[in-house]
Structures are given as structure tokens and as C-alpha cells.
Amino acid sequence: MANYTISQPDTDSNSGEPLRFAHPFVTTIPIADRTTIPGIGNRMTDYIKTKLEQIPKPNREPMLTLAEIIGSAGVAAIEKTKSITFHSVGDTGNAVSAMPELIALAMAGDYTIAKPEGSPAFFLHLGDVNYYDNTDKGYHAQFYTPYKNYPGKIIAIPGNHDGELFKWDGTSSGQTITLAAFQRNFCQLKPGIPLAAGTIFREMISQPAVYWILHAPFVDIIGLYSNVAENPGFIATPEIGQVQKNWLIKTLTAIQADRQKGNRKALIIAVHHPPLAGSGGHSASTEMLADIDDACNRSGVMPDAVFAAHAHNYQRFTRTVSFKGKELQIPFIVCGSGGRGLTQVTKADGKKNGDHVFNKSLVDYGYLQVIVKPKTLIIQFNQVDNTGKKKLFDMVTVDLKSGTAK
């Protein structure tokens, strides 16, 4: 929470007097000098942490291979082409708009069924599959129906709305256990067609957990769960525990050990709440970014790109990090333009702010098309208008050897 200049004296939270403002953290007192409120803390994020939901335990080791998603023959064909493509976007849940299905149809246009090896291998959903109706009926209307003509397999990380227990009006979201509906549809014990699909044939895979790593040709993708707060996101706190962060450190350490053997693949981290974000819509999750940085530093490996959603627009940042004596340029992408609606964001100015530059922004719909080759990672944002027509809006290429992005 930003510190605001106020003319009134700061309220003593222990005096029994009403607060001058809606909460005690609207104050000019530096965080380190504030009186700690018992059971809460001394800033707004401390209060938010007390309202987070526990992260569901994995069904098994949180690791997937591409063969589990598309079969070993499909993987072999992709390996032969020396290139893998996949889609990604978040914030799609919307039962009353045509946009989610129009975007899905635009994505479907990237497939050539007769040449599956050159088509997207899967769709990585960046969370908020569902809004305010975490029931079979809600998943049918907001997920299975708009993607009924999308031919690819779909994997996902949850967003805050996927895990919430109460809607905006205070009534039940349809689930009494956080992420119960998400797990029914994405974390089945074995692949199959979930009940919520109804007459729509869509085989869903068996994700091992709500956080996971996917090992695929030329790329490893780590999916994290950033919990239920509207803002910001967290992967670990004293209240929800350190299990996910500890797993992240262990997973990154294994990737680093593999790289030392000469097996260098692209590494993408996906998380719903954006670690970096422009003003308007949703702000950056700085504590979560610090946790991810800590895990990367402790394991000895940095991501080549970070994907997020949550803000209903498109944003691209380039973050420059000094790591092992090398300057790395890491794209941070916010792509929450999957059909739920649009939120405003500041226009990208191309200026450096701390360790990052705000390169591009767009308040419109669209999706990511990601292409990974042995030496390069290419990230494209395809804009989709309200007729379903698409066009390339933005593209960034990462040289995996030098760590530069352009």
C-alpha cells in the first residue's frame, strides 16, 4: 500500500478510538516504525496474508512430461522438427460474452490437423478459468463451451477466482473447499472427460497438483499458484506455509544440475498474479517476485521468461538481472486478455524503472503464441478483435545462449 500524505495525526490502533480512515495503513509512518497490530501486522499485505487459503496437497509428485499430454508419438514428431509451439492466455471465464470463443477459434486457426508436429502442442491457461461459479454448471458454461472447437489439450494454473469460496456479493462461489472445482477438471487422478463437460468431448489430462513442472522438448515450464487475493499474489507465507517455495527451489536446483550436464532448455515460469505490472487494473506482486528471485538465486538458475495474467490486458516488460557475472534480459509478460473483459493500463513508455523497462501495452483481447527452438524463445501476442480477426501486435525473441531479448 502506498503511503499517503495526510493532515490528521496517525491513529493509535490500540486506543479504542475509531480509525480516521478505513484501515490503519493509510499513514505517513514508515513501515518499520509502525505499531504492529496483533494478529495482523503493520501493512495491508500482512492483513491479506491472514485471508489466504491453504494450498491443496499434490496428488503425486508435481511433474508432467509432454508425453502424458499428447502421447510419445506426438513428442517424437515435435523433437524431429526441432521446434515446439504452444498457446497461453488467462482470464477467460465468461458465460455471457462471445469473446472467449472468438479467441479460442482464432487460436484454433493456428492448427493444421494434417501436420500436428507443426501445430501448438497445448494451451497453457494462466488462471481464472472460472468467475463466481465454481460448479459443474459454471465450468460447462465458462470453459467447455467456449473451447468446444479448440483442438488442443489444455493445462492450467489456477487464478484467484478459481480458488475463491465467496463471490463478490458475499454468496457462495459453489465450492466449500478451495480449488475443489479446478481440481475436478484439471487434476483428475487419470485422464478422461470430466462430468462438467457434458456432451462436449474434451479429454482432460491428469495434472498432479495445482503447481507443477512440465518437461517438454526444448522447454521446461513451471506453473505456480499465487492464491485467492484480489491483489497481490503469494506463493509462500507463514500462514500458508513454505511447501510450494521449497518445491520451487528443489525443482530449479534439478534444472541447474541438468544444465551443468549440457542439457540447456528454455525455462518459463507461469503464475497468475503479475510480478511486474503497469498502473491500472492490478499492481505488481513485489513480495512474490522476491520469493521467486530468492528461489532462483538459491538454486543457481533464472527463468528465460515469466508469464502472468490477472490484469485484463496485455503488457510486456524487459527485466535486466545481473546473474553469475552476466546481464540477463528477461521478458515479463502479462496476458490476461482471454475474454473476461478489459481493464485499463498505463501506456508503455519504454523507459527504465529500476531494473525493468515497460516495452508494450494494449487494452484489447488476444493470446500468446510461443515458439521454442534449441537456441531461441519467441513470444508473440496475437490481437483478436470482436469479429474474431487476429493480427500480430507484439513479438520478443530471447537468445537462450546470451540471455538477451529483442
116, 299 in Cβ contact below 8 A?
Answer: no
Q: Indicate the SS3 state at residue 89.
A: strand
88, 221 in Cβ contact below 8 A?
Answer: no
Say if residue 9's pLDDT is above 70: no
What pLDDT sits at residue 389?
98
- For residue 24, say if its preceding peptide bond is cis, omega within 30 degrees of 0: no
Mean pLDDT of 47-55: 94
* Identity of residue 352: K
Residue 77 C-alpha cell reads as 514428431
What pLDDT sits at residue 10?
42
Mean pLDDT lowest for which of 37-46, 69-78, 347-356, 365-374?
Answer: 37-46
pTM: 0.94
215, 165 in Cβ contact below 8 A?
Answer: no
| Element spanning 294, H or E | helix 286-299
pLDDT band at 35 (very low <50, low <70, confident <90, very high): confident
Measure CA of the first residue to CA of the last residue in the chain; give whole Å.
33
What pLDDT sits at residue 8?
35
What pLDDT sits at residue 42?
81
pLDDT band at 15 (very low <50, low <70, confident <90, very high): low
Q: Which domains occur in the chain, in start order?
A: 1-50 (no CATH), 57-405 (3.60.21.10)
> Mind listing the pLDDT tens digit for each residue in 306-315?
999 999 999 9
Report which of 404, 316, 377 is spatially closest to residue 86, judged by C-alpha positions: 377
pLDDT band at 157 (very low <50, low <70, confident <90, very high): very high
Mean pLDDT of 37-61: 90
Per the prediction, the chain carries an average pLDDT of: 94
pLDDT band at 6 (very low <50, low <70, confident <90, very high): very low
Say if residue 379's pLDDT is above 50: yes
Mean pLDDT of 335-341: 97
CA distance 107 to 289: 30
Say if residue 177's pLDDT is above 70: yes
pLDDT band at 34 (very low <50, low <70, confident <90, very high): confident
Residue listed under C-alpha cell 469473446: 99
What pLDDT sits at residue 1?
35
What pLDDT sits at residue 269?
99
> Mind listing the pLDDT tens digit for each residue in 109-140?
999 999 999 999 999 999 999 999 999 999 99
Q: State the number of CA atoms in the 13 A half-sphere of 340 facing the CB.
A: 24
pLDDT band at 12 (very low <50, low <70, confident <90, very high): very low
State percent of the chain over pLDDT 70.
96
Strands (DSSP E) contained in 278-350 are 305-308, 314-323, 326-335
The residue ranking higher by pLDDT, 144 or 12, is: 144
Mean pLDDT of 15-21: 80
What pLDDT sits at residue 167?
93
Residue 183 C-alpha cell reads as 481440481
What pLDDT sits at residue 14?
54
Mean pLDDT of 345-354: 94
CA distance 24 to 42: 8
287, 226 in Cβ contact below 8 A?
Answer: no
CA distance readout (Å), 208 to 56, 184, 226, 296, 297: 11, 12, 17, 23, 26
111, 152 in Cβ contact below 8 A?
Answer: yes
Q: What is the DSSP string of 25-83?
A: T-SSS-GGGSPPBTTTBSSHHHHHHTTPPPPPPPSS-SEEEHHHHH-HHHHHHHHHHT-
CA distance 403 to 406: 10
Mean pLDDT of 234-243: 97
What pLDDT sits at residue 317?
98
Count helices and strands in the chain by DSSP H and E runs: 9, 18
